Each structure stands twice: as C-alpha cells, then as structure tokens.
Structure 1
Amino acid sequence: MSSDEKYSAKKHKAAVCPCPLKQGTDREDIQETIDSVNDLLHQDKLSQKQTWQIGKRLKKVIDENPDMEKSQMMDALFLWGTALARLASQHDDVELANAAIDKFEEIDRISNKEANALGAVGYTLWGSCLLVLAKEQQDNTLFSKAFEALDKATELDDGNKFETNLHHAKALVEVGDFMRYPAHEQYLINEKPSSEAECYYERALLSCENLERLYQTQVRERVSTGENSDDEDTITEEDYAQVELLRAKLYASIYDIDSESFEKVYRQYKTAQDLDLRSDVILLEWIRFIFSVLTWGCWFPSVERMDTIIQEVDGMTQSFLLSNGFDINAYQDLLESETANDSVPHLLHLLGELIVSSLLKQSRIQESAGKTHFDRAQKYLFVAHQFDERLGCYGLARLYATPAFCDETKCLQWLETAESYGVLEDKELELDFQHIKKNDWFQSFLGSIENGNNRSPNKSGSVEMAKRDRKVTLAPGYSQLHWMRLTQSGRDLAQLGGKSPRKNITIAEIATHNREDDAWMALDGKVYNITPYLKYHPGGMRYLMMAAGSDGTALFNEYHAWVNGHAMLAKCYIGDLELASTLGHKAEIGDSVALNTTAWRPFRLFSKQSVTKTACKYVFELPESKPLGLCIPGQHLELRANIAGRVIERAYTPVSRFNQRKFFELIVKLYPDGLMSRYLESLPIGTEIEMRGPKGSLLYPAVGIVKREGKIQQRNVEHLVLIAAGSGITPMLQLIRATFESFQDHRTTVMLLYCNRTIQDVIAFDQLEALTNMFPSRISVRHIVSEDAEISTKCQTESLAIRHGRLDDSIMHEFIGQFVGKETAFFHCGPPAFDADVEKMLKSLTVSDSCIYRF
C-alpha cells in the first residue's frame, strides 16, 4: 500500500498496518503512538506547542526503538515531517522547513528512494518546504528541487488530486515572483513582468483552471447523488477559496491596473473572501492589494468608490474580528491574557495604513467622510501598536501629517517611536510626508537621523505622550561622528587631571554642578561630567541640561532606553554614585517601566511554587501592567531586604519574558545557609520586597554580539557554549530564549552543560527538552549529575543526554572541544568555586580569555 493511500493529502489519515498486531507487543505500543499522533494531525490546525509535542512523542518512540520495523519507522518519520511541514509553510519558517526536509530525506534513504514510500502527499510537503528555503535564500537550485518534488507528487496521483495541484500552482507563482522581483525588491504596481515571470504566471492560471474543474466535478457529483460527503478527499469551499485567492494575486501581477482591471482584481479577492469568511490570509492579501494601488499605483479609485471600498473592507474586518472573539474596544483584556489571534494586529495595522493612504491621496474625501475614516485609522493603528511595537507607529505619524488633521507634535512623537524600533530603515520619508517635508521641524528630524540620533520607544500612545518642543539642528562639526572622534583624541574629557575615578559621590555634590560650563549627571549609579558633550547632544543642549546636577537615569530611560549611554560617555566618567543617597526614592509619575536602576521600588509577592526539591518560583506583581524594565539578555535585578537587622542584597535573573506584563517570575535556589533564599521561602503572599534594576555589564544585545562594560567583545558569534550549575541556569535561559525567538537568527547553535546533584534538581527540564525536540540541529543539552547512581536512558537523545559524575577536563573536552577556535562565546554561571574551576578548564582547552564570560 502506498503512502498516498495511507494518508489523506488534507487530513493525513492514520496509517493502516499491513498485518494484524499481536496483543501486548512493543509493535502494538508503537502503533498506538503513531495512531494517536495521526488523530492530532487530523485536526484542521495545529498550534506550535502541539507540533512540539508531536515531535517529542515521535522522537522518543524512534530513540527508544531503533530496531522497530521499517514500515513503522517510515510512518513515524512521515508524521513528524508532516507536522513540521504544515507549520513551516504556514509561517514561512526556515528552521521548521529544514527539520521537515530532514525527515523526508531520511524516509527516502530508508526506502532506497522508492517513490511510493513518500507518496504524493509526502512529495508535496517536501516540495513546499523546499520552496520556503528557496524564497528565503533566493536560490534557483532550490526552486528546481522544489519543482522536482512537486512534479513527482502530481505524477503519482495522475494529476487528479486537488492538494498536490494546488501546491504546484502556488510554486509556479513563487517562481514567477522570484523572476520578477529578485532579491526581495519592492513590489510595484503596473511594473510589467518579464517574459520568464509571465510564463510561470500563465502556467499557474492554467493550473487554477484545472483545480476549478476538479472542484466543479465534485460539486456536480454531490448534487447528482444528493450526498454531502465529508471524507478526506472532499474539496470544501474553504479549500477552493485558496484557488480564487491565487487567481486574484495572479491578476494583480499580470494586469496593468486601471479602473477596469482594478475592479476585476477587487471582485476576485472578494470572491475568495466570500468562500472563506474566516480566512485572515485572504483578507490580508485583499487589503494589501488595495493599499499597494494607493501607494505605488499610477491610477486611483474615485473618492466615492474609495469610500465604498473602505466601508466594505472594514465590514469584512469587523466580521472577522467578531468571529475570532476580538472586541477592539476591550483590547486591553486580550493584551493582558495574550489570547488574541496572531494575525489580528497585522490586519488592524494594514487596514489603518490603507485608510491613511486614502486620506493622503484623495483630499476631497476629507471633506465628506474624512473624520470617520480618521477616527477608524487612529483606533486601528493604536491598538495594533499595543500588540506589536513595530506596528502602527509609522501609520500614525502619516495620519497626523494629513492636511486636514495635521498635528505636528503627535506626528513627530510617532516618527520618533517608529525610528526607535527601526521602522524607518526602508521608508521613503520625503515621499510619504510630502505635504510637510518643507517644514523646519521635519527637516530637523531628518537631520537628527543623519546624525545618528536614537530615541526610545514610548508605548503610552498619542493621547498620553508628553508634549515636546521641536528638535534643533546641530551645528556643523558637532555630530555623533565628531563626538566619537573627540573621545579618541586623548583629551581629559572627565577633567580628572590624571586622578583615578572617585567613589561615593553624593547627590548633593552632583547638584552643585548644574551649569552649562560645569555639568555633572548620574546614570545607572555612575557619575559623568557631561559638560564637553552638551553641544553634541542630538536633542539639543537644553534637553540634556534638564538632567544636569541630578540623577538623569529616569529621564534617559524615557527617551533613550535603547541607547548605550555608558559607552557614549565612557571618557567622561568621574566615579560612582553613593547609593545610600538615593535610597527611598519612589517611582516617578509617568515612568514607562516598573524598575528603576538606582531607586529601590516595592514589588508585591503574588504566588510561589516549588519547581524542584531545592528551588522555588516566585511570581511578583507588576504595577499598572508596566513591563519590568529588562530588555537585553544578560541584565538582572537586585533584591533588598532587612534580615535579622542586616540589609541583605542579592542579584537574580527573571525567567519570564522581557515584555511580559502584569507579573514577572524569579527562580531562586534554596541554600541551607542562604539568608535571602530562606527569607523569600518564608515570605507571606502579599508581602512587598524592594528591587531595582536593570543591572549587568555583560550583555548579548543583538544576534552574534557580546558586550562587556559597554564595549563590544565579539562580533559574528555563531556558537554559544553555556556552562551552568544550579540556579546559574537563569541567565542562560534568557540567552537561549533570545537566540530562538529572534527573527534574524537562524544559524546560532547552543551547547548547554548543566550541572546539578540529581536529575530532580534540574530547573526548567521540560522547557530545555522541548527546545531540543524543536531545534535538534541547533541546541544540545548535557546534564551532568553527581549523585544519581543510575541514570534512566529513556529521555536521552542525540540532542539531550544525562551524564553521571562531576564536570572535569575530559567531559569539557568531549562536549565543547569542537567549538574551540571557532566563532564561539563561552558563558558560565554558578557558585564561585564552580566558576573558578570552569575558567581553569576552559583555559586548559586553549580558549582565549576574550571569549570567556562569567555572569
């Protein structure tokens, strides 16, 4: 029996065993797992978490039964690849696509390239994953391999399977787009496709005709028989909607857009949407087409037609939101519960941008329905921004630049927000803001960008943002580049006269240095002489003087939270702030984060729970749903408590996400003589404890970059070796999360050596195991336990293993020797004696001091 008979192209029906099973055998247990996974795959959609669980279960079956029957091995690999491929195609995820391809290639190897081993479904999924890689890498060879797989699928089902034909048609469009827009060039309306691209588009249209024939034939059969079959081969209206969507995209690519062709493409998108009202993909593509016509087209709809279009698309959007349980007026509840559909913010963002474009392009619409459209756009863009900081901000800046609703202050505020999140990098500002491009304040803003000015994000929104004066243009010779040259000139900018930096500088002393010719400022507990920097400040001298003679940390974090001020002012360093002079400071009104770097602030204990025999998780409340204030891997916070008459301070790294609101979590290891850990263990729920932060001089601020004391130590890091003991795992978890949640990082590998007494003492065991199942080629975890005499082999795999003993030179050489001499950063964290031993062992492996980092 071939695989395409075993599995449904749409629902991946359970495999049928070729012979009866005997009760109580291992084979029966294996088949039970395979059938159970098939039941999961039978669902219409799988979440990423469910896909991880499938991979974990199948990986365990394969690892524990290396000698299972060939047919069952291929079934398990097929299901695992299917789950990964479906998610990879849905999200264009290169890592998942690679993982799925690995499974299909293994089936091909085991079966000696027998075509029926994969069947039409397998080759279709394989080809779809190759397409994901081809698009990412813009590689003709990968496109060819994808077509080979898809052609094979079509050949195996005689060209009569809807699913395989649909994938083949989509592939033709992808290649056509690649021929037309190489290297991700911007999409342009009315740009004539090349002859090669047009050839692929025409072939795709023919495929759509064939798909329509298959659908209509099935519809006629159902009408003639009176049966409404719901088996796995039934082509539903939702399935056929994908064909009509493909047609709409092809028409938009082929036609020169004028009034007639616009209406044809518009109706085609609407036809697709009517067939599947719950499809966010169709709705997004439909709005994107209209937006592209308004933004880049040579022809625009009339005012009346555009008003009708916005109302129709807005109505479709409202229906979609309601069907997904999204009440835009109660978005805050969804934001806190994190239950909103991932596509909703993008849909609101794109619809808001569309309305803004209509207001900018057609001035007469502002006189009739303009205010209604303005209010809609403002709401949609603002809500989108609350869910994703990169969304909405640029559209709001454009909205406040429209002639009828121009608000220079709000426009500038949202431009600054967009700049801080890197949204402006691919924008044509003078084109998008041509109504105001000659205004002095806008030209000043453009000048500040050229001077390298960075501003902090402000999520408070357009209504609550504080009023700001217009920016100034720096005098010639006072750009950030000129400042960097000055810092390298050897001049005594701190004016220490050759003396060492001071200790315990009080706030009172800093307050006496508050003039333009004598200005000091405290930042994160360090004191700087900012006098020589005043004229170089991108926002102007007047704004920096607001912090002169005081602790400028809160003001700096409000405007420049993403700028490394310590590196900028390193040559102006005078000494350290006496922290006693800052104790007792209360949170300032308007602070955008919960923590303060110098002032101790109270946080209420919400709950606590044991996670191992020797570690406990503490959940603390965040005030007003503000984020905690940590934003870079490597940062930590400090806790302070009065214990038995002594003030005790300890540093801990939160294990929750940086942007998490309402609560944050700490995991603390319990030590018999640990004052703070025992104090926390006895702390009643509802009690407050003081904290401050962020702290930390060792940071991993971006992909492949390691900073220490504000200076870049390594660039282009490709491998992270993490060595932890006990609760030293917590900063490592932040590094791991940053690596695997990054949209820019698809290559960095992680090797974690985690040392504990017993396997029961391992913190976040399930989390680490899930990561090794999801990214087996990128992360390896080695648990080193000292007191377990017998280690179970059930949970051990190539990516995750448990070793009995203590960390020594031989274990270090075995597991991390391969990374020495490569682009590797070595991080370690644990008790002092452990850290000292690790550094000695690393040096014995000839690891350079410059690549070794201790948290």
Structure 2
Amino acid sequence: MDWIRLTHANPNLSGVNGRFLEVTYEELLKHNKKDDAWICLKGRVYNVTPYMDYHPGGVDELLRGVGKDATDLFNQVHKWVNFESMLEKCLIGKIVGPAVQIRKSSFPVPRIPFIKKLQRTDTTTSEDVPDINEETSPRPSVSYEWFQDDSTVTVSIQSKGDAVIEQDKVVADLSGKDLRIRVRLEKYFFIFHVELQENVYSSYNVQVKCKLKCLEVQLVKERNGVSWSSLGSFLANHNQVVPLKNAESYSRSCTLVNKDSITHDITLFTFSLPPGSFMWVPIGHHVTLEHDVKGMKISRSYTPVIPALKADEDVSDGKTVHLMIKIYPEGALTPVLKTLEIGDKLDMKDTEGDFELSTLQRCRNLVLLAAGTGFTPMVRLLHWALFVSNQMSVKLMTFNKTVRDIIWKDELDQLQEDHSR
C-alpha cells in the first residue's frame, strides 16, 4: 500500500513531465540501471526507477527486465498482475521501430514490425496486412472488405493463409461509433479498429464461416437509406497482425445477472456483456476481472465454466460468461465479488490463454487432475471430452478437504453412471 500512497501523492512518476513518447529499442537499452530503469511491457514503456524499492520480488529481480522488452519474463512470473494500473503514473510512451540485437545471455527482445497505415477509400475497401517475418511462427495473411445496402453495413474479414477463423477466437465490441474486432489466428491477433462514419444500432450480427475462413459482422444503420462514402476513420492498431504477447487487452463493463451458491465457499457468477459486445471464450482460456478496491484496480484471472454438466450447455451466444469462484475471506478481490448484487457491474478484459484443443484430437485416454489449478479449468474440457469428442475414456480426480467441498458431486456421480467407458 506504500506504493499506492506514493502514486497518489505524485501524479507523475515517469520523469518525462507527462509527455507520451515514442521510444526506440536503442533508447530503451540505455536505461538499464537501478537509478535509471525503463522497462517495456506489452508495447508500453515505463520508468520503474521509483518502483525499485517497492517491488515484492526485490531490486535484483526487477533489474532482470530493465532496458529491454520484459513481456515474456513478466508473464512467466506474475501474468495476473495488473501492471497497467500499478505503473500508470510511470508511463513514458510506446515502443517503436525494430528490435535491436543484444548479447545471447540477456533476455531476448521480440521484434515488433512496423505496419503501414491503410489509405481510406471512398467505396468498398479491401486491404491486405503485409507479410512480415516473425521469429516465432509464420505471420498470418489477413484481408478485409466492407459493403453496404440501404439498411446494413457488413465488414468481412478473411484469413488468406492456412489459419482458420473459429467462432471461439472472436471478440467484437461496439461502443457508439467505435468498432473493435479481435480475431485470434494461431500465435497472433488480427485487430480491426475503426470509428464508423455513421451511427449504427448496438444490436448486430456476428457470423463465422469456418470453411471459407471468413468472419462477417453485419451492422444495422440508424439512418436507413443513407449511403456511406467510407467505412470511417482508422483508430489505434487498426488492420494489424500482432503477436499474442504484444496485444493490448480491451476491457468492457459487464453486469452481474445471476449468482448461485455451489458449495459453502464457491459461487457461480453469471455476467452479461454490454449490448454492443460479443466474446466467445476458447476451452482452457481465461478472462480477467478488474475492480477498484481502495483506490487501486485489482485484477484476477478466472477460467469460464458452463452452468451445468449437460450435453447442450456449452453452446454460447457470446453474450454471457459464467465464472465459478472460490471466496477467500482474506483475498484481494473475492470478498468484493461476494458482496456484488444482481445488476452490479465490473470490468472484464479480453480472453487469454495458450491451450489448443487440437492437441487432444488423437487422445483416447484423458486423465484430469483437479488439484492445484482446481476444478474449474477442467469443467469445459470434461464436457467436450464426453459430449463433443465422444471417443475417449475420461478419468477425473478431484482433491478436496471434505465431502462438502466437492463441486457438483451429484452431477459428477451421474456422469460416471452415464459414461462408464
């Protein structure tokens, strides 16, 4: 809390007088000492010199990441920490330009390519994202176009390479005229972000055509019969393909619509996304909840579940998210969640995760150990194995202190009886 008090007492700790700078890798590399420490996290550069004495892991641990892009290192150690809020007063600017080569023993700096801005056209727009070499995996090739009739405007996004667009890899947010679409393609995100030329209704349609590797978003015009001369103006990161670790996570305000007690200390929360938002969560991935607690944004990540272990439960419309959360009396966030009433709101960030369901396609025997990670990451995986794949033997072992701690005991007993393989 000392760090929180310091940030409240000092509105700017960046050392650049509140300016937002474009920082090259060469410049970042110069600031690699305890008394002059800059760090890059997810494309943003922070002056962490004043944070040195407050870092829980100590000065030496923090020094491992200064003067370089420390996104990978940060994700390995404490990915769940909301550094954007914690280091908000230390923000210097954004990283630009190509990465520089550093000695092999140092932490590797990823190469962030320069993406050319698109030119606006007066009618139907079709633009390709240029192919740029990436150190880790091939960069997907993506294009988009838009077309209209008297009442609708349709944006069509298409993968032109091997990567397939899947329903559960799509996030779309419409707020006023601001339309943001994020599509995951293997190890990358394609970002579409524009301010529309005219107003549209918040209710719209999102359709994925897997065989065509295509996503269509159909918007409804508020002014029927008005022809748009262009789609609108391009916003931050529009038409870019970015590595997963460098993508900024968007946050939306969600509403609690249901709250059920599962055990004495576990609650099933159901959140509804805003009218203009769609978010499908891939199996094995998580979302992050954010809430203001005593003047500081606290964030925790949770794996979405389904409301019941039944055959038709995992069919999502992209409008609701179910979270099964254990309440810790001394926790940072869960005591606040416990007090939420129906209709209360909190922020939910984009989906994150590395698990790919394709790794289990040839699996015939699946063993799930619900211990340290708990039961919730196993719920949708268990459902998929039993009701979708329907071709493997499944063994689930849960670890509980007492019988009353067992989540969905009756349902699990019924599943065991119905699916004895």
TM-score, normalising length: structure 2 = 0.45
Higher relative contact order (CA 8 A, sep 6+): 2
Structure holding more helix per residue: 1
Larger radius of gyration: 1
Structure holding more strand per residue: 2
